[in-house]
Amino acid sequence: MSKKMLSFLLIMVISFTVFTGCGKSTGGTADNTANKKPAKEEKKGSEKFAGYPMDKKDTEITWWVGTGYTPNEAYASADESPFHKNLQDMVGVKINWQFPTAGTDSNQAFNLMLNSDTLPDIIFHSIMADIERYMEEGIVRDLSDDLEKNSPAYYSFITSNEMYDKHMKTDSGKYYGYGFFREDGGWNDTYLGPLVRQDWLDEQNLEAPKTISDWDNVLKTFKKEYNAVFCAPWDRMKPSLISGAFGAYGLADYTLFVDKNNKVQLAQAQPEWKTYMEKLHEWWEAGLIDQDITTNDDDAVRTKVLNGLTGLAYSSMGQLSNWTTDAEKAGNGAKWVGLQYPTGDDGTLSMVRGGYGIGSTVAVITTSCPDEKLETAMRVLDYAYTDEGNLFWNFGKQGESWDYDDKEEPAYLDLVTKDPDGLNNAISKYGGSTWSGSCIQATKLLYLKNEPAAIEANDTWFYPNEDVTAKWTLPNGVTRTTEESNTLDELVSSIQTYVSETAVKYMTGEESPDTYDKFVKKLDDMGLPTVLKTNQAAYDRFLAR
């Protein structure tokens, strides 16, 4: 190579350095530049609504979805995705779908999208908590005046239930969006819980463990007999795990809860949490907890489960379905079942992970949607809450992906049941309610989607503890004022960091729980009292709605 070649290479290196430095500022805008054409205006503004599909093929609605009902990964775009294609035919309006680039964090994509010149007409994202700020800034439309008229199905649905109504309006009583509701109330909000290998329990003549002492016993036996440890995906375990048995309300995630006197508290600032951490540390020292625990994801745990490295675990009903199919394929005789949440030795249980069956995501209409299009947009969103639309959002197009069976119940057709990607995955190709959506999730869908063992597990986690699943949570519908949002933005992240790292250190013993008093003192210095006061104010206003 000559000198020229060398200088060429050097120039390349320099320009790469320069370009990558600049690239950062342009990264996110690419997502939403694709479709900035102003939507065509409606020809006739006040045409009477005469059922679905509306005859409005020339009206285009732009609709941004961050997560929840983005197209199944089998499809490159909404044009290929059956759910997104079919919804346009069902409502009779052209929809211009927009999604974050695959692999991007949806919060990040949302924050960048807000900076574009034209907003989409509809946005679906988890913005309930900050909705006051978005309305004040003129991003989100106030729908109060038109909701009853333009979205009769949705209006009658939320007003039929006091809790729904409370969640879906602001403190000043304004309606702003279309939420996600579980038909089952809160059953599937408790989708996580303890799991155990029934075949091992039987072999060792053990009863299903009920209390923490029982857990001690089972963990030790499994360790001795099978060299198996407790295992869980870290992201699923770190919010709370089995806090309830200790009277605690959280593990390593900063968790706010509502105590018996309706006071908002931080889970980690309670003395019960210390007891909980001490117990986890004891298990950790005895080698009863997987030593990879904080680096485990779903796949890592699935491998460990398949290899018989764990007999007592904590995960979701969806994962239980996977483990069950894996065990059948491998023929190793493993039989995983759901296990009741353990209680304290005195039988007390302060909480079980769950909620009110109302999601934190919501579809809102932005101020970029012109008045002429408002009714159409509201009708499009209302469709999901009509009887016919509910079936479509859950199961897809009748006759294509499902039809009624002999008992007049919806049942999937071959297109779904024989899908090469598996039933569990195929469901989200045709419906929009699998994870969360602007719709009502049918319980039937969950029954069809999961293995019987998983359904049973969810029953075990939920029904005996129904009264402690939701009451302790800070409801998703609590909204904060602009000022409150700003205050919290400044304080919360350092507290989050401090709480999670201390929790892990207590568990692994890198730090002794004796420093607990210092820990609480430092939390106060970091502004915890202000954080609690701010949330308390928001929660009190919610209660007063």
Partner 1 sequence: MADGNLATSSRTTGQKTLRHTLQRDFKLNKYKYLIILPVLVYLILFCYKPMYGIIIAFKDYRPALGIEASKWAGWKHFKNFFNDIYFGRLIKNTFSISGLSILFGFPAPILLALFLNEIRVNWFKRSIQTITYMPYFISMVVVCSLVRTYVQHDGLISQIAVAFGGKAQNFLMSSKYFYPIYIISDIWKNIGWNSIIYLAALSSIDQQQYEAARIDGAGRFKQMVHITLPGILPTIVMLFILRMGSILSVGHEKILLLYNEGIYDVADVISTYTYRKGILNAAYSYSTAVGLFNSMVNIAFLLLSNFISKKTTELSLF
Binding interface with partner 1 (CB under 8 A): 1-3, 5-6, 9-10, 13-15, 17-18, 21-23, 25-26, 105, 107-108, 111, 114-115, 134, 137-139, 234, 238, 252, 291-292, 294-295, 300, 486, 489-490, 492-494, 496-498, 500-501, 503-505, 508, 510, 526
Beta partners for 350?
A: none
* HSE-up (13 A, CA, CB side) for residue 444: 15
Question: Please, which residue, 314 or 506, has the CB nearer to partner 1?
Answer: 506
Q: CB 72 → partner 1: shortest distance, Å?
A: 20
Decide: helix, strand or coil at residue 363. strand
Question: Please, which residue, 296 or 394, has the CB nearer to partner 1?
Answer: 296
Q: CB 145 → partner 1: shortest distance, Å?
A: 21
* HSE-up (13 A, CA, CB side) for residue 489: 10
Tokens read off for 112:
């960048």
d(CA 370, CA 212): 59
- Phi, psi of 363, rounded to the nearest 5 degrees: -95, 120
Question: Please, which residue, 107 or 398, has the CB nearer to partner 1?
Answer: 107
Q: CB 22 → partner 1: shortest distance, Å?
A: 4
Decide: helix, strand or coil at residue 116. coil
Beta carbons of 39 and 93 less than 8 angstroms apart: no
H or E element, residue 381 = helix 371-382
Q: CB 303 → partner 1: shortest distance, Å?
A: 10
H or E element, residue 256 = strand 256-258
Q: CB 13 → partner 1: shortest distance, Å?
A: 6
Beta carbons of 363 and 128 less than 8 angstroms apart: no
Question: Please, which residue, 45 or 509, has the CB nearer to partner 1?
Answer: 509
The neighbour count for residue 43, using CB atoms within 10 Å, is: 10
Q: CB 219 → partner 1: shortest distance, Å?
A: 17
Decide: helix, strand or coil at residue 118. coil
Question: Please, which residue, 202 or 299, has the CB nearer to partner 1?
Answer: 299
Decide: helix, strand or coil at residue 83. helix
Q: CB 38 → partner 1: shortest distance, Å?
A: 19
Q: What percentage of the chain's residues is helix, strand, coil (to nearest 5)?
A: 50, 15, 35
Among all chains, which residue has been given the structure tokens 């309670």? 270
Q: CB 423 → partner 1: shortest distance, Å?
A: 27
Task: Give, rounded to a whole angstrom, the gap between the first and last alpha carbons of the chain.
Answer: 77
Question: Please, which residue, 10 or 543, has the CB nearer to partner 1?
Answer: 10
Q: CB 299 → partner 1: shortest distance, Å?
A: 9
The neighbour count for residue 306, using CB atoms within 10 Å, is: 17
Minimal CA–CA distance to 451: which of 338, 358, 317?
317
Question: Please, which residue, 13 or 543, has the CB nearer to partner 1?
Answer: 13
d(CA 278, CA 482): 39
Question: Please, which residue, 403 or 510, has the CB nearer to partner 1?
Answer: 510
Helices (H) and strands (E) in the chain, counts: 24, 14
Q: CB 431 → partner 1: shortest distance, Å?
A: 29
Minimal CA–CA distance to 190: which of 510, 475, 459?
459
Question: Please, which residue, 111 or 161, has the CB nearer to partner 1?
Answer: 111
d(CA 505, CA 488): 26
Question: Please, which residue, 105 or 145, has the CB nearer to partner 1?
Answer: 105
Minimal CA–CA distance to 322: which of 304, 340, 309, 339?
304
Q: CB 301 → partner 1: shortest distance, Å?
A: 12
Q: CB 16 → partner 1: shortest distance, Å?
A: 10
Beta carbons of 204 and 221 less than 8 angstroms apart: yes
Checking phi first, is residue 248 left (phi over 0); if not, alpha (psi -120 to 50) or beta? Answer: beta
Beta carbons of 488 and 480 less than 8 angstroms apart: yes
Q: CB 412 → partner 1: shortest distance, Å?
A: 33
d(CA 195, CA 214): 14
490 CB-near residues (< 8 Å, 6+ apart): none
Question: Please, which residue, 5 or 544, has the CB nearer to partner 1?
Answer: 5
Beta carbons of 480 and 130 less than 8 angstroms apart: yes
Question: Please, which residue, 55 or 490, has the CB nearer to partner 1?
Answer: 490
Question: Please, which residue, 77 or 497, has the CB nearer to partner 1?
Answer: 497
Question: Please, which residue, 78 or 237, has the CB nearer to partner 1?
Answer: 237
Q: CB 308 → partner 1: shortest distance, Å?
A: 13
